[in-house]
Amino acid sequence: MKTSIGVGLIGTGYMGKCHALAWNGIKAVFGDGPKPVLVHLAEVNAEIARKKADEFGFDKSTGDWRELIGDPAVEVVSVTTPNAFHAEMAIAALEAGKHVWCEKPMAVALADAERMAAAAKAASRVAVLGYNYIQNPLIRQIGQILADDTIGTVNHVRLEMDEDFMADPEALFYWKSEASSGYGALDDFGVHPLSLLQVLFGRPTKVFAHLSKPYADRPTREGTRRAVETFDIASVLFELGEGVSGVMALDRSAWGRKGRIVLQIFGSKGTIVFDQERFNELQLYVTSDRPTELGFRTILAAPQHAPYDRFIPAPGHGLGFNDLKIIECHELLKRIAGQDARVIDFDIGLGIERTVHAMAQSHHEQRWINIA
Amino acid sequence: MKTSIGVGLIGTGYMGKCHALAWNGIKAVFGDGPKPVLVHLAEVNAEIARKKADEFGFDKSTGDWRELIGDPAVEVVSVTTPNAFHAEMAIAALEAGKHVWCEKPMAVALADAERMAAAAKAASRVAVLGYNYIQNPLIRQIGQILADDTIGTVNHVRLEMDEDFMADPEALFYWKSEASSGYGALDDFGVHPLSLLQVLFGRPTKVFAHLSKPYADRPTREGTRRAVETFDIASVLFELGEGVSGVMALDRSAWGRKGRIVLQIFGSKGTIVFDQERFNELQLYVTSDRPTELGFRTILAAPQHAPYDRFIPAPGHGLGFNDLKIIECHELLKRIAGQDARVIDFDIGLGIERTVHAMAQSHHEQRWINIA
Amino acid sequence: MKTSIGVGLIGTGYMGKCHALAWNGIKAVFGDGPKPVLVHLAEVNAEIARKKADEFGFDKSTGDWRELIGDPAVEVVSVTTPNAFHAEMAIAALEAGKHVWCEKPMAVALADAERMAAAAKAASRVAVLGYNYIQNPLIRQIGQILADDTIGTVNHVRLEMDEDFMADPEALFYWKSEASSGYGALDDFGVHPLSLLQVLFGRPTKVFAHLSKPYADRPTREGTRRAVETFDIASVLFELGEGVSGVMALDRSAWGRKGRIVLQIFGSKGTIVFDQERFNELQLYVTSDRPTELGFRTILAAPQHAPYDRFIPAPGHGLGFNDLKIIECHELLKRIAGQDARVIDFDIGLGIERTVHAMAQSHHEQRWINIA
Amino acid sequence: MKTSIGVGLIGTGYMGKCHALAWNGIKAVFGDGPKPVLVHLAEVNAEIARKKADEFGFDKSTGDWRELIGDPAVEVVSVTTPNAFHAEMAIAALEAGKHVWCEKPMAVALADAERMAAAAKAASRVAVLGYNYIQNPLIRQIGQILADDTIGTVNHVRLEMDEDFMADPEALFYWKSEASSGYGALDDFGVHPLSLLQVLFGRPTKVFAHLSKPYADRPTREGTRRAVETFDIASVLFELGEGVSGVMALDRSAWGRKGRIVLQIFGSKGTIVFDQERFNELQLYVTSDRPTELGFRTILAAPQHAPYDRFIPAPGHGLGFNDLKIIECHELLKRIAGQDARVIDFDIGLGIERTVHAMAQSHHEQRWINIA
């Protein structure tokens, strides 16, 4: 295996910093794999780029992301810019022979996502999306519980994802309420629970969605009100094939919910419940316990749930949100090294995008849409 | 107000005993209203009827329920027999000039429910259904919170009802899996969350349902397997009018869930969450708290949530499931006395039945159904 | 077995009503045993007595409790008056040949408790104290878990009891702050967790207590402030013998706590946790689960936890605080019928009182006190 | 301010890795302060040292820690070796003019802790202990709530710390059961809750402890059993001065507890509850809410709780255990830069050690010990 890998980072916002923390921490956490060399950082202008490069430990900096992509020392590029730029940057990086680690969602338009997947295939480079929630050791444990047949055959699944950053009706209108940003909660949020569905069960086979707007309009800076064009709430029925039914409820205007992603999985021998707001915990009910002692068990993340052990040797001490990104980064490097890895690559990611678009279609046509 | 009221009870199973406990306890709990005189009890045969009359404190007993209905000393009749008998008994009692307290659901067939509502109207007698969950003091408190505008304008509602009595795939086939019993979870469970919706918001205006079977067949006593005809899972999208969207998920084969009815109400200024499995608690999030101290508040039922105070003068000590029936009984007597009362009468109950049937129709026709 | 039993009730406050509800409901709940005949009710004056007798379903009423005790139709007397009257009434009833069901605590003065126990022994009548928390089916289940060796040998126990009715420093001084009412939290609260300890483990063998006052004085109706004489907080270390250590923390000025009694029991193979504020739940951790699936299990009260099944045939639906009193009443009647029964009789109750007094002594002498 | 600082790390176990992660991540997280230059790493031999230096990103490595301390490029030394080595290494580093970041507890013997504090004073260098739990943004928020008088005057405090790494009675005897390791839970655990007490309230003024052994002996590798010399359980009563009473219960053999540190703070206007196993949550009860809506609020860590915002811009997404060390590292650098900082330095740490030793003394002498 290579002993080092050259890293480029485009964007330094929420997710850009998260990538930077992962690149800085991964070697100390995992010990194995190539050492990331932080080569180049790009931002909207040279000044911000330099400042952030110093903070994040990158050597070179630039106000022109194409310069970074042209840098031969860069082998893998983190794309963490606003969604509208993902396609252009990821495709350019792939065409330049770089591996790509791009934040979700792939792109606003399905056609862009398709071009990205095609570019990855053509370039024969690793192209992975930033679906960090699938990296939680307890989500892996859910997969293991399912594989072990501990809860039997799954027959019903419920998903919820709720936050409250759009909950204030008097907050100023901004781009998330513009149709150009997408459908609303459906693509903004839906891809996350769908990524969990993907790693646990694969894609839904048919979907029926209903989108709604909690607030018809919002105030503008000019003192007027502007009609909201996106749907902050999405409610979806789906099937997973072979008669497994499901419900997915999304709301980005749900007061009090901060990072809630609830997963309820019902099987013929037990039930699993998970909530991202307490993502170091997992609830498990199995029918094999003594009748007087049946109950949901609260399992705390612990070293036996790899790779928790790479972070902390003691159980129940708690991983953080940023730690999930470090695990994702490690899986990316495993994939680059040609090993089995738990990633949502551009191909699988395109499937998620297609599912989201099918949901939107089902809303507009008010009918079930089958997914090939 | 009358000082006493003559009571007849038909049926002594789960709900029959629950009614009996209510009739025995109501006067001591509330102190006001007429004293129930336990006149007559009917069961499938005279022997069981006598035994139960002794246990439940009733004077006369009979193996023929029509005898009870013919008893002039009986003024109000509790009908707690299997659903198939509700219509016949309730109508007969109403026609005999009795008030009726009938367990939910009204009837399996919509036509029966319609006849029951018509009979109540014709008889000018009080006819009330046993929707005890609406009597929880904390459900009233939710109503008060909504009325106070504490969480602002509601824009989204989620309901779940789950139990696990149908969860074992190897449990023998019985009548709940026969089509003659109804649709399955939809009517068996759905009426409960719909009764909560009713008292808080009124009826849905449009519905779209998807019914599913966790198990295709079940073993029979004869060692063969028989195809399941009902749907133990129902997933429903709905609107409450004026753009309020909703999701209702029902599952009577949900391992580990014992009496779960979860209600999530999202408003423009806050959120309410309630779970019947912890029905002495209520979660409330309001945006008016200090920014660093925002969070869901766990409110314990207390004397300030009337009529909790009639049961216990100390807060947080906990009402029981049977206590809700005592409150329901008290509301019934208030209605009989011509006072304002919180009840689901046959008229409102018919509305709930119609909603359930519209949901079933939407499943079969795979389209949204508008409710008049 | 007798088919009926004559009941007298003295006092109709918080606990008086609770007894009345139990006497009204017990036969319908349990079906077995003698039918209570509600013979006589005593209150401070004839008028209140009559009113309450009508509400609670008692036949005769009196403003003179000695008249009730003299009534030959009364076979068992509920004593639910303020603590200061317990000794006189209970002893008089026993001397009159009645069985006695007396609310806790036995008496303020240890000497009174001793006289009560002596009177019970002399009268050869059943004399039982109202320790309702021990009647919770899940407390029985804890006993069963211990008996089954499911958590192995117990080595440490923690108890907490907290409410907030004395938490407001500006609430007017009243009798609970007077030394004549006892020590404060120690006797007011301590007897409850000690009753749980009693049925699960027996009496502590040595104790060390520290009493404290959250507020030095309180306002009086006259506008002055009066020094508080009792200790609203008590913190106790103890041993249960054979090296089992324990901690008991009591606070009746603990804002937000409404009926909290937390029990933590640590054994060599597992742990039990219980909280009275959610008394239909029990937490159990056992080491025998799979390593990746270890966790505290939340067990909901269910029909398999007798006598929950006598109240509700469905699991997880929830008993209420008043239901515990019905179970207690049933145990009383079993004891009267000469059967095994789960009760704190005056003898055992005296032991609890002695433990409390030893704790107070240890505080004053600042040393460990051994309990014989 | 300096733009960089040379770092040496001694030890690479549990806490050594934790320090390494902090040194790697701090600049990217906080952006400000000097950039850590990872100069030198020491381990028990050169080979391990080299391997870990590569993983953790350190330049030089050595099997002789004195070589690291002699390295002029090293300005601050992380001491993360077993407790027995803390004194010697920390003092040597201070005498060599280095700043020291030493893991807790300071030392096994009080005399060693005193020498360490004296060395720090003599050297005029920053010497800080690794009490990471105090760095939780929500612990700061508790301090803010207290400072704001939101819960009024505190009158009672309860602390619990429980884990289960000593809970298996059949686990082999190892050094934690030897008297040479200290008292047991008292020093192993007690210092953590005492560090929280320290930053919120200062030191206890008097203490009374009871130590106990859940298991008298443990198996040895040789197949015999060896008597346990330390106390895995400690129960402590204390006062904080001005009549504030407290209880502290510690248990390192508490099955099912993984990283539990529960804090209950009772005041005249409210209550705060915190549990380290859910350290991104805080419970707050205040009396100022509407009477029908009173309840404990669950506050999720969010950007408004600085420095959470330096890690994640979105609320409720969850910090990890290792993130607390990054905050601690940042406070250390602030202190080195002469700024106000939230640290437990050797002086304050010595106070904590003295409190622990006073507790042990109180156990042996079975009396309250006053702390100067």
Alpha carbon distance D232, D212 (integer Å)? 7
Chains touching B (3+ CB pairs < 8 Å): A, C, D
Does C123 reside within a domain? yes
Above 90 in pLDDT, residue D243?
no
* B15: helix, strand or coil: helix
Above 80 in pLDDT, residue B1?
no
Above 70 in pLDDT, residue D270?
yes
Which residue shows structure tokens 């002996």? D217
Residues of B in contact with A267 (CB under 8 A): 255
Question: Helices D321-336 & D14-30, crossing angle to 10 degrees?
Answer: 70
- Do A300 and A242 share a structural domain? yes
Cβ neighbours, 10 Å, residue C134: 22
* A173: helix, strand or coil: coil
- Do C101 and C84 share a structural domain? yes
Measured CA distances, B256 to A85, A290, B163, B259, C298 (Å) = 46, 13, 7, 9, 10
Does B326 reside within a domain? no
Which residue shows structure tokens 């211990």? C146
Count Cβ atoms within 10 A of the Cβ of residue A310 and give its class: 0-12 exposed, 13-18 middle, 19 or more buried: buried
- Do B301 and B162 share a structural domain? yes
φ/ψ of C293, rounded to 5, equals: -125, 25
Is the Cα dihedral C74, C75, C76, C81 positive or negative? positive
* CATH code at position A215: 3.30.360.10
Above 70 in pLDDT, residue D225?
yes
* B347: helix, strand or coil: helix
pLDDT at C108: 86
Does D339 reside within a domain? no
Cβ neighbours, 10 Å, residue D143: 16
- Using CB atoms, which residue from D235, D239, D254 is nearest to C247? D235
Instruction: Determine, for residues A294 and B256 on separate chains, whether the beta-carbon distance falls below 8 Å.
Output: yes
- Are B24 and B323 within 8 A, CB to CB? no
List the domain range (segments joined by +) for residue D220. 133-320+344-370
CB-side neighbour CA atoms (13 Å) of D17: 20
Least Cα separation, residue A38 to chain D (angstroms): 12
Between C and D, how many CB-CB pairs are < 8 A?
A: 118
Instruction: Determine, for residues A28 and D20 on separate chains, whether the beta-carbon distance falls below 8 Å.
Output: yes
- Do A194 and A119 share a structural domain? no
* B228: helix, strand or coil: coil
Measured CA distances, B363 to B231, B248, B349, C370 (Å) = 11, 14, 22, 72
- Are B278 and C278 within 8 A, CB to CB? yes
Q: Which of B153, B154, B206, B235 to mutate to test the interface with A (most CBs of A within 10 A)?
A: B235
Residues of C in contact with B35 (CB under 8 A): 54, 57
pLDDT at B42: 98
- Do D304 and D184 share a structural domain? yes
Which residue shows structure tokens 């230096």? D53
pLDDT at C327: 98
**β-strand pairing of C35-42 with C99-102:** unpaired
Chains touching C (3+ CB pairs < 8 Å): A, B, D
SS (H, E, C) chain C: CCCEEEEEEECCCHHHHHHHHHHHHHHHHHCCCCEEEEEEEECCCHHHHHHHHHHHCCCEEECCHHHHHCCCCCCEEEECCCHHHHHHHHHHHHHCCCEEEECCCCCCCHHHHHHHHHHHHHHCCCEEECCHHHHCHHHHHHHHHHHCCCCCCEEEEEEEEECCCCCCCCCCCCHHHCHHHCCEHHHHCCHHHHHHHHHHHCCCCEEEEEEECCCCEEECCCCCEEECCCECEEEEEEECCCCCEEEEEEECCCCCCCCEEEEEEEECCEEEEEEHHHCCEEEEEECCCCHHHCCEEEEECCCCCCCHHHHCCCCCCCCCHHHHHHHHHHHHHHHHCCCCCCCEEHHHHHHHHHHHHHHHHHHHHCCCEECC
- Using CB atoms, which residue from B282, B292, B299 is nearest to D305? B292
Instruction: Determine, for residues D245 and C212 on separate chains, whether the beta-carbon distance falls below 8 Å.
Output: yes
- Do A144 and A114 share a structural domain? no
- Are D198 and D190 within 8 A, CB to CB? no
Instruction: Determine, for residues B156 and A215 on separate chains, whether the beta-carbon distance falls below 8 Å.
Output: no
Alpha carbon distance D367, D58 (integer Å)? 51
Alpha carbon distance A290, D220 (integer Å)? 34
Residues of A in contact with C150 (CB under 8 A): 293
Residue C1: pLDDT band by 50, 70, 90 thresholds? low
- Are A54 and D62 within 8 A, CB to CB? no
Tokens of D343: 């640290």
Does C114 reside within a domain? yes
Residue A294: pLDDT band by 50, 70, 90 thresholds? very high
- Using CB atoms, which residue from C24, C300, C320 is nearest to B277? C300
- Using CB atoms, which residue from D141, D291, D294 is nearest to B292? D141
Is the Cα dihedral B54, B55, B59, B63 positive or negative? negative
Instruction: Determine, for residues B255 and A271 on separate chains, whether the beta-carbon distance falls below 8 Å.
Output: yes
Alpha carbon distance A202, A229 (integer Å)? 31
Above 70 in pLDDT, residue A1?
no
Angle formed at CA D197 by CA D194 and CA D202, multiple of 5 degrees:
110
- Are B254 and A156 within 8 A, CB to CB? yes
Among candidate residues B82, B97, B132, the one where a domain is terminated = B132
Above 80 in pLDDT, residue C322?
yes
Count Cβ atoms within 10 A of the Cβ of residue C111 and give its class: 0-12 exposed, 13-18 middle, 19 or more buried: exposed
Among candidate residues C99, C132, C165, the one where a domain is terminated = C132
Instruction: Determine, for residues B268 and A155 on separate chains, whether the beta-carbon distance falls below 8 Å.
Output: no
Is the Cα dihedral A199, A200, A206, A212 positive or negative? negative
Cis peptide before A214 (omega within 30 of 0): no
- Do C118 and C45 share a structural domain? yes
* D196: helix, strand or coil: helix
Q: Which residue of A has its CA nearest to B245?
A: A212
pLDDT at D120: 97
Does A247 reside within a domain? yes
Structural domains in chain A (count):
2
pLDDT at B161: 98
Residue predicted with more confidence, C33 or D372: C33
Range list of H helices, A96-184? 110-123, 137-147
Cβ neighbours, 10 Å, residue A304: 16
Above 80 in pLDDT, residue D372?
no
Does D161 reside within a domain? yes
- Are A276 and A264 within 8 A, CB to CB? no
Contacts of D372 (CB under 8 A, 6+ apart): none
Alpha carbon distance A74, A7 (integer Å)? 5
- Asked whether this complex has an ipTM greater than 0.85, the answer is yes
Nearest to C289 by CA among A199, A270, D250: A270
pLDDT at B182: 93
pLDDT at A179: 94
- Do C147 and C108 share a structural domain? no
Among candidate residues A93, A108, A132, the one where a domain is terminated = A132
Least Cα separation, residue B269 to chain D (angstroms): 15
- Do D289 and D143 share a structural domain? yes
Nearest to D189 by CA among D165, D171, D216: D165
Residue ranges of chain C whose CB lies within 8 Å of a chain D CB = 151-152, 155-156, 158, 160, 167-169, 208, 210, 212-216, 233, 235, 237, 239, 243, 245-247, 249, 251, 253-257, 266-271, 285, 287, 294-296, 366-368
Instruction: Determine, for residues C259 and B321 on separate chains, whether the beta-carbon distance falls below 8 Å.
Output: no
Residue B242: pLDDT band by 50, 70, 90 thresholds? confident
Above 70 in pLDDT, residue B105?
yes
Above 90 in pLDDT, residue C241?
no
- Do B118 and B199 share a structural domain? no
**What percent of chain B is modeled with pLDDT above 70?**
100
Average pLDDT estimate for A114-122: 98
Q: Beta partners for D261?
A: D161
Instruction: Determine, for residues A21 and D27 on separate chains, whether the beta-carbon distance falls below 8 Å.
Output: no
Average pLDDT estimate for A56-72: 98
- Using CB atoms, which residue from D237, D251, D366 is nearest to C156? D251
- Are D251 and D162 within 8 A, CB to CB? yes
**β-strand pairing of C245-251 with C154-162:** parallel
Does C260 reside within a domain? yes
Least Cα separation, residue A136 to chain C (angstroms): 14
Average pLDDT estimate for C217-228: 97
Residues of A in contact with C284 (CB under 8 A): 293, 295
Residue ranges of chain D whose CB lies within 8 Å of a chain A CB = 14, 17-18, 20-21, 24-25, 27-29, 31, 35, 54-57, 163, 165, 257-260, 277-280, 300, 302, 311-323
- Are B189 and B252 within 8 A, CB to CB? yes
Residues of D in contact with A316 (CB under 8 A): 163, 257-260, 277
pLDDT at D1: 61
Residues of A in contact with C298 (CB under 8 A): 295-298
Instruction: Determine, for residues A235 and B253 on separate chains, whether the beta-carbon distance falls below 8 Å.
Output: no
Q: Which of D272, D293, D305 to mutate to test the interface with B (most CBs of B within 10 A)?
A: D293
Which residue shows structure tokens 């809630």? A260
Does D331 reside within a domain? no
One-character DSSP codes across D12-45:
-SHHHHHHHHHHHHHHHHH--SPEEEEEEEE-SS
Average pLDDT estimate for C336-354: 97
Q: Which residue of B has its CA nearest to D298?
A: B295
Instruction: Determine, for residues C315 and B259 on separate chains, whether the beta-carbon distance falls below 8 Å.
Output: yes
pLDDT at D309: 98
Measured CA distances, B45 to A220, B350, D111 (Å) = 73, 31, 87
- Using CB atoms, which residue from B215, B247, B266 is nearest to A255? B266
pLDDT at B243: 82
- Do D88 and D192 share a structural domain? no
Q: Which residue of A has its CA nearest to C301?
A: A292
Average pLDDT estimate for D148-164: 98
Above 80 in pLDDT, residue A103?
yes
Which residue shows structure tokens 């805080």? D282
Residues of D in contact with A25 (CB under 8 A): 21, 24-25
Which residue shows structure tokens 């005592």? B326
Instruction: Determine, for residues C319 and B317 on separate chains, whether the beta-carbon distance falls below 8 Å.
Output: no
Residue ranges of chain A whose CB lies within 8 Å of a chain B CB = 151-152, 155-156, 158, 160, 167-169, 208, 210, 212-216, 233, 235, 237, 239, 243, 245-247, 249, 251, 253-257, 266-271, 285, 287, 294-296, 366-368
Instruction: Determine, for residues A316 and D21 on separate chains, whether the beta-carbon distance falls below 8 Å.
Output: no
Is the Cα dihedral A306, A312, A318, A323 positive or negative? negative
Above 90 in pLDDT, residue A52?
yes
- Are C250 and C185 within 8 A, CB to CB? yes
- Are A150 and A123 within 8 A, CB to CB? no
pTM > 0.95? yes
Residues of D in contact with C294 (CB under 8 A): 256
Residues of B in contact with C305 (CB under 8 A): none
One-character DSSP codes across A268-328:
SSEEEEEEGGGTTEEEEEETTS-GGG--EEEEEP-TTSTTHHHH-SSTTS---HHHHHHHH
- Do B285 and B270 share a structural domain? yes
φ/ψ of D98, rounded to 5, equals: -90, 155
Above 70 in pLDDT, residue C91?
yes
Average pLDDT estimate for A53-68: 98
* CATH code at position D117: 3.40.50.720
